Amino acid sequence: MAAGGAQLGGSAVSVPPAPPAPPLGVTGWVRAAFRFVTDRNDFRRNLLLNVGLFAAGVWVARNMADIDLMAPQPGT
């Protein structure tokens, strides 16, 4: 066996392809973000989205606490 546990010669171990290069510029970032958002089987995406929505809800609740939605509106 060679270093790293792979056999020399005709090995049956398949090497996964190299990850794609990091996105370059704004278009690469937008393409990566679009791919991240549209991936339907991504646990990380779901977790990030849910935590982000929760954090946004907490922020709105804390910063809009001084607005009384039941107070009579002016002109009515």
pLDDT tens column, 28-75: 888 887 887 777 667 777 888 899 999 999 888 888 777 777 788 887
pTM metric for this prediction:
0.38
pLDDT > 90? residue 4: no
Integer angstrom CA distances of residue 10 from 6, 7, 14: 10, 8, 11
- Between CA 61 and CA 57 the distance in angstroms is 6
Output the DSSP codes for 6-75: PPSSS--PPPPPPPPPPP-HHHHHHHHHHHHHH-TT-HHHHHHHHHHHHHHHHHHHHHTTT--TTSPPTT
**Domain map of the chain by residue range?**
25-63
Report whether 20 contacts 12 (CB < 8 A): no
